[in-house]
Structures are given as C-alpha cells and as structure tokens.
Amino acid sequence: MFKNKVIRYSTIAMVIAILAYFVIENFSSGNDPLAAVDPQQYKTKLLEERAAKDEQFRTQEDSPIADKTSFHGLHYFDPNMTFRVKATVSPYMNDDKEMIVKYTDGTSEKYEKYGYANFTIMGEAQKLLLLKNEGVISVLFQDATSGKQTYGGGRYIDYPVADIKNNMLILDFNKAYNPYCVYQESYACPVPPAENKLTIPIEAGELIESAVHE
C-alpha cells in the first residue's frame, strides 16, 4: 500500500503470511469459517499478531517509525468478533475495470476493479469495492470513526486473491490497519475510493495515537 515498492512488498508479505497461518490453523476443518473459530483462540492469535507487528516497527529498518527508542506500540480497538463478517463477492463485470487510484502525495497508480464485497454488519447492509493490484486484493475504506478514533484518510485490509473462494470472502475488520503515511508523511499511500465510505462506525482494528491520549 505504499509507493516505496520494497516497503510495500515486505509489509504485504507479512500480512499475507499472518493471514495464511491464521486460515490454516482455524479453518482446516472445512466448516463455516465464521462458526469454526474459537473466540478465545482467535483473540489470543490476534494479540500475538499485533505484538509481532510492534516488534517489527520497533526493530526493522523498513519501519515507518522514526523514533524507535520511544515507540511504545500501536493502538487498537479490542478484538470484536462482530466485525468479522462473511461477504459475498460480486465480480466486476463492466468494461471499465481499470481504476486510477490517487495517492497522498498527488501521484497515482493503476488498480483493477475486482468486484464488490456485499455484507451485513451491525444489522445494516454494506458494500465495498475490492481493488486488485499485483496479485493482492485491497480493501481501502473509511467509516464513521475516520478522522475521530481512526485515521481520517481511511484504513486498509489486504488479502491474497486465493482467499476468495466460491465468491465468498471473510472480511475481518479487526485486521484493519493504518497506512505508513500516518507515521511518516514522506510515504505515499492510496486514497480509498469515494464509494468506500461505510455508513457505520467500524470500531475494530487500528486506532490513531490521539484517540488514546486525548
């Protein structure tokens, strides 16, 4: 999700590796992927993933954190299974599949309109445009917490294309993360499509620092 390709590849690789491990560990039974997950085990693994990301940000050269010595970890909403939902994916069938996505530094990049994820959350029907870029499905979105508890420019979730099976995808907003430009303005990050503004607050995933230390 960043113009620096090396940073982008390493970050996406980390996210996909974590997701793959999570899927293998929890969904191997072939049951309904929502019902198959034990809530306590899910919470434990999610907290482990967050701790691993903190360690990466604290120690790795490609970390967006400038002052690593004072870095005390990222902030998140508490894990909440309500924000882990099954979405039906409707493939994008129109000819205008190519989409130019603007970046925060004024540049842009070509993405493919992969399809729409249709789901219900908190009793309300929602829809998000899924974008494909270099083999990765990107969920770029804003919601009612954007600019308040979460980054105003929106948050992201990434999936390998293989995670979409039989036109179904598990959208896990607990894994929604801030782009690197939240921590350093020198990074260029994609701006979510205008249509990807959810009408409800997604109180899951990564917070901004000011939401915790007001």
Given a cut of 70, the residues of the chain with pLDDT beneath it are 1-32, 35-36, 213-214
pLDDT of residue 12: 56
pLDDT of residue 34: 78
pLDDT of residue 24: 40
What tokens does 13 get?
A: 């690789």
**For residue range 5-17, what is the model confidence (pLDDT) as tens digits?**
435 544 555 555 4
pLDDT of residue 37: 79
pLDDT of residue 33: 72
**Domains of the chain by residue range:** 5-212
**pTM for the predicted model, two decimal places:** 0.84
Residue identified by tokens 């049951």 is 31
Which of 197, 193, 198 minimizes the C-alpha distance to 96? 193
Residue 89, exposed/middle/buried by CB under 10 A (0-12, 13-18, 19+)?
buried
**For residue range 57-102, what is the model confidence (pLDDT) as tens digits?**
999 998 999 999 999 999 999 999 999 999 999 999 999 999 999 9
What tokens does 122 get?
A: 């908190």
